[in-house]
Structure 1
């Protein structure tokens, strides 16, 4: 198989790599689902070595498919972080079984623990806090646990549009991080405007929440695709960025790229080294290949992948 060159591309028709964006993209992660992973012949042709790959667990996906996807991606040399959505896990025995399967079949030792987008819980759990408090991840020796963050709020948790419950949950998770051996971080929903993201991150730090933030960013995609996903996922005021773009006929048919939002976040981080956004987490809504190619073109890879066996 011919592999992509993971050095910076030198193309006469493309602008030079923005060094600040390149710095922010170091250690980026990306999210897949079993059905999207099936379309990728070999992740080593797309992603730099060491890229963390999250596997989203959508309601109705059998755990066998999740574990098989994790096993396949791990075998290609990538650290895998499956979702553990509380509201589709029936009980503690199910949680322990999932953890054991992931560990035994795919060597998994990290997880994104979240409530999940299901309205009615399938069993005993309805929050990430309950899963963490069970102690099952610590008993299994998980080395890394990520939790969800919502820079523009979450109406499933705070229907009134406030961030009261979301903020209280993050304070609990901050306290939990101080008594678990696992490294913890916040992985967020995607947004399209840097200013509210920066304000939210600063507010967390002022509230004593010091967990590193892996900021969710939507990868390149058709504008109509992004608007559809943004509405479905409850993206807040930054949706206006897409709506303004949709009204500009010169941009309507062009694919959206996350260059502007990342440039502003990267510039802020360069000017404020203690800024608590440490990593980028991509949602490849326009396809994994398109997202990976964009990342490469913007300096998001500095090493060549291992040759596939």
Structure 2
């Protein structure tokens, strides 16, 4: 995919990209979700993270609330944080009891050394445990701008292996990317995914409205590029870190770039590409941004 420096706004493509958006929350964000529920379309996928400072009850409780409010829970499972196969089975069993086990997101997790039998998410997928508890779709991590500690070749091999393992077990795959500021690497990465024969739906991660300093802090933490040129394209300046930045520029830019090179659907976007918003605790702010951006057409 050729890089385009100043794409115009393709309104139809932008609306289509945002249409089936998903959100992310932590186990502690249940009050925020209750506050934002009236602004989130029914059936929206809401990912529930698997943080080290949250326990089983908090994770399952959050997934249960997501389900009860009419949304689709996508609980995260951090493979290296699991201390045993029994812990994985307990978590999945509890999720199944509350109707929240059909969609999960499998990730390796932060610990440098596994706390149990799973050294990465592929090992967890290959264990066969997920299938036993009615998991129908597994989300996989994608890294359009790479990973600070993992070579690109290793990332590609892992994605291909996990995708193949899921297909062989009859479980659907979906890809959720780390958030980015620059659209060109994202568009090129999507092309590379498809060139490898991976047809799973892709949700491109982007931050919801957040303070500029906070965004840059998360970017540094996750190794996302945040130099002056890139953040200018995203819509703010490194010389002015006061205030809040929204993803307007990023969404319009990405939609235009993808539409320019696609023969996908009637809106000009590649098929099965959408957005996932990292809300950083701002569920209501993100939902309100979507409503404002789409003019209520979401």
Tell me the TM-score normalised to structure 2 length: 0.87
Matched, 1:259 2:255: no
User: Could you say if the C-alpha distance between residues 163 and 108 of structure 1 is closer, same or farther in structure 2, counting changes exceeding 3 Å?
Assistant: same
User: Could you say if the C-alpha distance between residues 113 and 286 of structure 1 is closer, same or farther in structure 2, counting changes exceeding 3 Å?
Assistant: closer
Q: In the alignment, is the contact (CA less than 8 A) between 2:203 and 2:273 conserved in 1?
A: yes
User: Counterpart in 1 of 2:169?
Assistant: 180
Name which of 125, 147, 163 aligns with 2:152. Answer: 163
Q: In the alignment, is the contact (CA less than 8 A) between 1:153 and 1:236 conserved in 2?
A: no
Matched, 1:285 2:280: yes
How far residue 242 of structure 1 moved from its aligned partner, in angstroms, is: 3.0
Q: Higher helix share goes to which structure?
A: 2
User: Counterpart in 1 of 2:4?
Assistant: none
How far residue 41 of structure 1 moved from its aligned partner, in angstroms, is: 2.9
How far residue 107 of structure 1 moved from its aligned partner, in angstroms, is: 3.8
Name which of 185, 195, 199 aligns with 1:206. Answer: 195
Q: Distance in 2 between matches of 1:105 and 1:296?
A: 29
Matched, 1:218 2:207: yes
How far residue 129 of structure 1 moved from its aligned partner, in angstroms, is: 0.2
Greater displacement, 227-236 / 37-46: 37-46
How far residue 180 of structure 1 moved from its aligned partner, in angstroms, is: 2.7
User: Could you say if the C-alpha distance between residues 208 and 106 of structure 1 is closer, same or farther in structure 2, counting changes exceeding 3 Å?
Assistant: closer
How far residue 261 of structure 1 moved from its aligned partner, in angstroms, is: 1.5
SS of the residue corresponding to residue 118 of structure 1 reads: coil
Q: In the alignment, is the contact (CA less than 8 A) between 1:223 and 1:246 conserved in 2?
A: no
Q: Distance in 2 between matches of 1:181 and 1:150?
A: 25
User: Could you say if the C-alpha distance between residues 212 and 259 of structure 1 is closer, same or farther in structure 2, counting changes exceeding 3 Å?
Assistant: same
Matched, 1:142 2:131: no
Q: In the alignment, is the contact (CA less than 8 A) between 1:43 and 1:73 conserved in 2?
A: no
How far residue 30 of structure 1 moved from its aligned partner, in angstroms, is: 0.2
User: Could you say if the C-alpha distance between residues 280 and 300 of structure 1 is closer, same or farther in structure 2, counting changes exceeding 3 Å?
Assistant: farther
User: Could you say if the C-alpha distance between residues 285 and 18 of structure 1 is closer, same or farther in structure 2, counting changes exceeding 3 Å?
Assistant: farther
Map residues 18-29 of structure 1 onto 2, 5 A cutoff. Answer: 18-29=11-22
Q: Distance in 2 between matches of 1:266 and 1:281?
A: 14
SS of the residue corresponding to residue 294 of structure 2 reads: coil
Map residues 56-71 of structure 1 onto 2, 5 A cutoff. Answer: 56-71=49-64
Q: Distance in 2 between matches of 1:239 and 1:184?
A: 35
User: Could you say if the C-alpha distance between residues 300 and 176 of structure 1 is closer, same or farther in structure 2, counting changes exceeding 3 Å?
Assistant: farther
Q: Distance in 2 between matches of 1:89 and 1:300?
A: 43
User: Could you say if the C-alpha distance between residues 238 and 38 of structure 1 is closer, same or farther in structure 2, counting changes exceeding 3 Å?
Assistant: farther
Q: In the alignment, is the contact (CA less than 8 A) between 2:39 and 2:288 conserved in 1?
A: yes
Matched, 1:193 2:188: no
Note the residue ranges of structure 1 that are not aligned, 5 or more in a row. Answer: 1-15, 304-309
Q: In the alignment, is the contact (CA less than 8 A) between 1:214 and 1:278 conserved in 2?
A: yes
SS of the residue corresponding to residue 209 of structure 2 reads: coil
Q: In the alignment, is the contact (CA less than 8 A) between 2:74 and 2:100 conserved in 1?
A: no
User: Could you say if the C-alpha distance between residues 225 and 184 of structure 1 is closer, same or farther in structure 2, counting changes exceeding 3 Å?
Assistant: same
Matched, 1:118 2:75: no
User: Could you say if the C-alpha distance between residues 179 and 168 of structure 1 is closer, same or farther in structure 2, counting changes exceeding 3 Å?
Assistant: same
Q: Distance in 2 between matches of 1:238 and 1:197?
A: 16
